[in-house]
Homo-oligomer: A and B are copies of this chain.
């Protein structure tokens, strides 16, 4: 089998902006999380459940989408402070776009800000948004081979949510094999298998969130 290698595209342009955002938010006591995943992994359902469960905290959400406001409408309906960012076709958020969105949202009197990044397992991993932690979501129907195919995303993430575990009986997804593949790329990553539909496993993730906020 032949293999062709194409030169790697490297962007380091926005690292400074990202570091500045990260420091400013930490000083204000706001934990900033960047949620990344494929399209259709259940990011918005997962985030909605998290917002409901942590209603004692002050939470803000930035929804990044190419065009629609589908997700932002779902989040706004929960009463969370939220803003929609339209990337106009762009496949990721960078620190500049994130900075503009943070300004639009306002960062006062918040404990956590979630950025729901564009659904994409590749490009968002290449751009530092200024988040304190990167959280990626892999859903059971996508398959346990994804760490082999999209390694950078798994390497860049502090937390891996394995979502839609209620679908495990219907798919050929080996949870242990997936864990091993992920840990080989990133030994320090925290892994939370869960179902936002049934609520199973949400507690461990939410305990991790509470442990990591700056402000209390």
Which residues does A use to contact B, with CB under 8 Å?
1-10, 38-40, 65-73, 76, 82-91, 97, 100-101, 104-105, 118-123, 126, 139, 141-143, 145-146, 148-152, 164, 167, 170-171
Contact = CB atoms under 8 A, between A and B. Distances in A.
A6 B88 contact: yes
26 contacts: A1-B82, A1-B84, A2-B105, A3-B85, A5-B86, A5-B88, A6-B88, A8-B89, A8-B90, A38-B38, A39-B121, A39-B146, A66-B150, A68-B148, A68-B149, A68-B151, A70-B145, A71-B149, A89-B152, A91-B120, A91-B123, A119-B121, A119-B122, A122-B123, A141-B142, A167-B170
Pick the 7 closest A-B CB pairs, nearest first: A40-B142, A141-B141, A8-B88, A91-B122, A68-B148, A3-B84, A8-B89
Contacts of A3: 69, 83-86
A72 B1 contact: yes
Given A1-B69, A82-B1, A84-B4, A164 B150 contact: no
Contact of A39 (B38, B69, B151): B38
Given A10-B89, A141-B142, 4 more contacts: A2-B104, A4-B83, A6-B86, A38-B39
Given A6-B97, A40-B146, A85-B6, A67 B119 contact: no
Contacts of A121: 39, 119-120
